[in-house]
């Protein structure tokens, strides 16, 4: 039976989105919500994770009536194999992004690029020393080369283990060792998952799930952490600054270029090209008052954190940003770029430009960026965008709403800086209960859920209960639009948290970066645990990905849990066809890694769950609640 299409109010929280969904309809543009409707109801086997397509004896669908595939795999094994590959794909994505940064750092160290350089030499030296590289009296270039070469090892298998294992509290490391889930090498662990899930290899659901945990840890404490740290070294460690968010950041009088994807390698170059005086002069000649770069999704977060570049929207806003009719060019690298953007761009004067050899888009233009040509290619792309400005049809332009003010840039260095250089004041605030705990709200949007509603409601509920919130990825845009990334939002926080925010001049929700920057949250949890002499699982912390959709988000959720952080998800992964895997995720993991997943679509109930968890951990630490 066909369901009634959802009303506009049920699709999204925001006016800018609603107006653009209506404009899309009027302009004949199909959106993600239209296609979701076409695709629903979904295949129930796929929803439960009980289809297998891993060999040509199949495909097989496991059910009560037909409980085993042709090879004999049951529902538990089928779900575990599917989930294992799902997590491996997510870990691979973050980590391959990290690899691009390692290659760029290596090129800098070897003097093979003039386009990239070390922007934060202090951090370069600090990180290099942390992973055991001799830094004294050496040139930055040489340190960069050695650091990159060390990280190359993290990807392989002839290693002593990941460089950043040194950040993991002792107890956690011992636990991983006992369980046999210490991550060894990023590529090794991902490849091994592909191997294990081939027909006739690992045929024990729990064993596969444990390896999935190891793969995710190789992402969190490996690929993602490396991506974050090198990005800071090459492009600068973020410091607090103000910026703006929503579709209102687009400018009717300027050339608008959107950057979308994940790695700062391309977006930083586009930004630099847009600030080039020759380009600005060219834009003036074309009748524009300037060149406006605006971010989408995680590369937007990267530019936002480090440069205060405005961010136009999150995952579900990417199509709608083009629907404004005000975008000359959208430049993408990889991940979360809906292939539909090419068609949406074709409905307007917008040029779609892909830049990575690993992510081409049929129907789009491809301008390949490498570390030795990036500056030149960026100038080419920006120059062409200026030409496009002349083709803009003012009758098709509608930029809804005024932008909302936000503060951003809370790297761990900045957070510690705000605290006076040590975590002690935060620990004191936690001990005396002013800040009852810390929660990360991270991740995507999913058109199955009302856009940004869960993010915002959950954050409001948590800060009310004196829980400091850290936001990354697409959650950031939701927080920003709701006004929660401003110090004034302290008025929505509980008394204790509000007082702390006021005394430090910070918002109750801190923007800590993109999705790979969830590694910053892992790191700071490690720092807090070490300062208290406990395990991460003992801390009054929790995480949530209330509107997640991607394989990457599954990897993030799992590395959080495997690191000892209780993690809420707004939607279940496709595992419900296996009781073994589902109960492991929701209960069993507690006794294994000291944390579990909770699945709860209602954000208020989710806040209750996270709050309860924080209370339990406070009591166990002997803190009043």
- Considering only the stretches 182-190, 232-240, 324-332, 547-555, report the one whose residues sit in contact with ligand XCC under the rule CB under 6 A: 547-555
By CB under 6 A, tell whether 418 contacts ligand SF4: no
Question: Could you tell which of ligand XCC, ligand SF4, none binds residue 161, using a CB distance below 5 to 8 A set by kind?
Answer: none
Question: Could you tell which of ligand XCC, ligand SF4, none binds residue 474, using a CB distance below 5 to 8 A set by kind?
Answer: ligand XCC
Site for ligand XCC (CB under 6 A): which residue of 95, 216, 356, 550?
Answer: 550
Residue 40's CB is within 10 A of a number of other CB atoms, namely 10
Number of residues that bind ligand XCC (CB under 6 A): 14
By CB under 6 A, tell whether 55 contacts ligand SF4: yes
Question: Could you tell which of ligand XCC, ligand SF4, none binds residue 58, using a CB distance below 5 to 8 A set by kind?
Answer: ligand SF4
Site for ligand XCC (CB under 6 A): which residue of 144, 342, 474, 519?
Answer: 474
Strands 404-408 vs 365-366: parallel, antiparallel or unpaired: unpaired
* H-helix or E-strand spanning residue 582: helix 579-583
Residues of span 421-460 touching ligand XCC by CB under 6 A: 443-444
244-267: string of b/e by CB count within 10 Å (b at 16+)? bbbbbbbbeebbbbbbbbbbbbbb
- The C-alpha atoms of residue 128 and residue 138 are separated, in whole angstroms, by 12
Residues of span 217-256 touching ligand XCC by CB under 6 A: none
Find the shortest distance in angstroms from Cβ 54 to ligand SF4: 4
324-342: string of b/e by CB count within 10 Å (b at 16+)? bbbbbbbbbbbbbbbebbb
Nearer to ligand XCC, 328 or 547 (CB): 547
477-504: string of b/e by CB count within 10 Å (b at 16+)? bbbbbbbbbbeebbebbbebbbbbbeeb
Nearer to ligand XCC, 249 or 592 (CB): 249
At 491, list the tokens: 């008025």
By CB under 6 A, tell whether 71 contacts ligand SF4: yes
Site for ligand XCC (CB under 6 A): which residue of 315, 481, 523, 613?
Answer: 315
By CB under 6 A, tell whether 59 contacts ligand SF4: yes
Total residue length of the chain: 625
By CB under 6 A, tell whether 295 contacts ligand XCC: no
Question: Site mask, ligand SF4, residues 240-259, x = CB under 6 A?
Answer: --------------------
Question: Site mask, ligand XCC, residues 335-354, x = CB under 6 A?
Answer: -x------------------
By CB under 6 A, tell whether 46 contacts ligand SF4: no
At 226, list the tokens: 């490396």
Interacting residues of 423 by C-beta distance below 8 A, sequence separation 6+? 416, 524, 527, 528, 531
Rounded to whole angstroms, what are the CA distances from 581 to 4, 57, 251, 415, 578? Answer: 34, 25, 49, 38, 5
**Which of these, 400, 392, 382, lies nearest to 290 by C-alpha position?**
382
Which three-class secondary structure state does DSSP give residue 3?
coil
- The C-alpha atoms of residue 209 and residue 193 are separated, in whole angstroms, by 10
Nearer to ligand SF4, 58 or 496 (CB): 58
At 587, list the tokens: 């209960």
Site for ligand XCC (CB under 6 A): which residue of 306, 552, 568, 613?
Answer: 552
Residues of span 368-387 touching ligand XCC by CB under 6 A: none
Are the beta carbons of 240 and 409 closer than 8 angstroms? yes
Residues of span 163-182 touching ligand XCC by CB under 6 A: none
By CB under 6 A, tell whether 305 contacts ligand XCC: no
Nearer to ligand SF4, 81 or 618 (CB): 81
Strands 329-332 vs 351-354: parallel, antiparallel or unpaired: parallel
Site for ligand SF4 (CB under 6 A): which residue of 6, 39, 43, 70?
Answer: 70
Residues of span 178-207 touching ligand SF4 by CB under 6 A: 199
Nearer to ligand SF4, 86 or 164 (CB): 86
User: What sections of 110-120 are H helices per DSSP?
Assistant: none
Are the beta carbons of 327 and 258 closer than 8 angstroms? yes
Enumerate binding residues for ligand XCC (CB under 6 A).
Answer: 262, 297-298, 314-315, 336, 443-444, 473-474, 515, 550, 552-553
Enumerate binding residues for ligand SF4 (CB under 6 A).
Answer: 52-55, 57-60, 69-71, 73, 78, 199
């Amino acid at each position: 039976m066909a369901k009634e299409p959802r009303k506009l109010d049920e699709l999204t929280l925001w006016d800018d989105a609603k107006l653009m969904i209506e404009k899309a309809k009027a302009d004949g543009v199909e959106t993600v919500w239209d296609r979701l409707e076409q695709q629903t109801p979904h295949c129930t086997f796929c929803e439960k994770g009980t289809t297998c397509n891993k060999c040509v004896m199949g495909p097989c669908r496991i059910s009560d009536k037909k409980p085993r595939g042709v090879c004999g795999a049951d529902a538990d094994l089928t779900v575990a194999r599917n989930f294992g590959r799902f997590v491996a794909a997510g870990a691979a994505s973050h980590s391959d992004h990290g690899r691009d940064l390692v290659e760029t750092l290596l090129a800098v160290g070897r003097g093979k690029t003039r386009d990239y350089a070390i922007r934060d030499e202090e951090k370069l030296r600090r990180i290099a020393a942390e992973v055991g590289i001799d830094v004294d009296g050496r040139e930055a270039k040489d340190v960069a080369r050695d650091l990159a070469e060390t990280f190359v090892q993290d990807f392989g298998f002839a290693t002593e283990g990941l460089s950043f294992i040194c950040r993991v509290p002792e107890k956690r490391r011992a636990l991983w060792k006992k369980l046999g889930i210490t991550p060894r090498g990023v590529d090794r662990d991902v490849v091994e998952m592909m191997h294990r899930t081939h027909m006739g290899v690992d045929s024990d659901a729990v064993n596969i799930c444990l390896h999935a945990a190891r793969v995710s840890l190789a992402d969190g404490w490996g690929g993602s952490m490396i991506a974050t740290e090198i990005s800071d070294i090459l492009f600068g460690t973020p410091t607090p600054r103000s910026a703006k968010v929503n579709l209102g950041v687009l400018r009717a009088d300027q050339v608008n270029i959107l950057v979308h994807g994940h790695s700062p390698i391309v977006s930083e170059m586009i930004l630099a090209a847009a600030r080039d005086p020759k380009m600005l002069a060219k834009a003036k000649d074309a009748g524009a008052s300037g060149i406006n770069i605006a971010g989408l999704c995680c590369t937007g977060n990267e530019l936002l954190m480090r440069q205060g570049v405005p961010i136009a929207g999150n995952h579900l806003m990417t199509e709608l940003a083009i629907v404004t009719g005000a975008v000359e060019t959208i430049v993408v690298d990889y991940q979360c770029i809906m292939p539909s953007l090419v068609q949406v761009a074709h409905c307007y004067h917008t040029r779609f430009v892909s830049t990575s050899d690993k992510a081409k888009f049929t129907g789009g233009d491809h301008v390949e960026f490498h570390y030795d040509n990036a500056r030149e290619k960026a100038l080419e792309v920006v120059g062409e965008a200026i030409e496009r400005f002349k083709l803009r049809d003012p009758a098709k332009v509608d930029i809804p709403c005024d932008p909302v003010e936000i503060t951003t840039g809370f790297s761990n260095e900045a957070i510690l800086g705000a605290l006076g250089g040590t975590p002690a004041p935060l620990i004191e605030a936690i001990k005396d209960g002013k800040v009852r705990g810390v929660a990360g709200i991270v991740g995507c949007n999913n058109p199955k859920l009302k856009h940004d509603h869960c993010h915002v409601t959950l954050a409001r509920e948590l800060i009310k209960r004196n829980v400091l919130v850290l936001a990354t990825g697409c959650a950031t845009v939701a927080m920003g639009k709701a006004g929660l990334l401003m110090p004034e939002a302290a008025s929505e926080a509980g008394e204790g948290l509000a007082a702390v925010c006021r005394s430090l001049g910070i918002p109750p929700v801190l923007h800590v970066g993109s999705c790979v920057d969830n590694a910053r949250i892992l790191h700071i949890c490690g720092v807090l645990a070490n300062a208290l002499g406990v395990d991460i699982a003992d801390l009054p912390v929790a995480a949530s990905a209330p509107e997640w959709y991607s394989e990457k988000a599954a990897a993030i959720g799992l590395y959080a849990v495997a690191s000892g952080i209780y993690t809420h998800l707004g939607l279940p992964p496709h595992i419900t066809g296996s009781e073994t895997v589902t109960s492991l995720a929701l209960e069993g993991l507690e006794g294994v890694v000291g944390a579990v997943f909770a699945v709860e679509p209602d954000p208020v109930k989710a806040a209750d769950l996270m709050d309860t968890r924080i209370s339990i951990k406070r009591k166990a630490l002997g803190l009043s609640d």
